[in-house]
Structure 1
Amino acid sequence: MSDNASILIVEDEDKIARVLELELSFEGYTVDKASSGYEAIEKFRTEKWDVVLLDIMLPEMSGIEILRRIRKENEQVAVILLTAKDSIEDKVTGLDLGANDYMTKPFQIEELLARIRAALRLKQKPNNEIDDQWLVFSDLKLNESTREVYRGDRLIELTPREFDLLVYFMNNPRHVLTREQILETVWGFDYYGETNVVDVYVRYVRKKVDGEQDNKLINTVRGVGYVMKDAYESKK
Structure 2
Amino acid sequence: MPMYSVAFPVDGLTSDQKREIAGAVTRIHAAVTGAPESFVHTSFEAFAAGDYFVGGEPAGPIVITGRIRAGRSDGDKQRILRQLAAAVADITGRPLAEVATIVRDVPSKYIFEGGQLMPEPGQEDAWLARLGGGPTTEELAVRHFEAWKKGDVEAIAADYAPDAVLVNGFGAITGREAIADFYRRVFTEWFPAEVREAIEFGRPLVDGDTAFLEWHGGPASYAADTLVIRDGRKQYQSFAAVFTS
Structure with the bigger percentage of strand:
2
User: Which has the larger Rg?
Assistant: 2
User: Which of structures 1 and 2 has the larger relative contact order (alpha carbons within 8 angstroms, sep 6+)?
Assistant: 2
Q: TM-score, normalised by structure 2?
A: 0.21
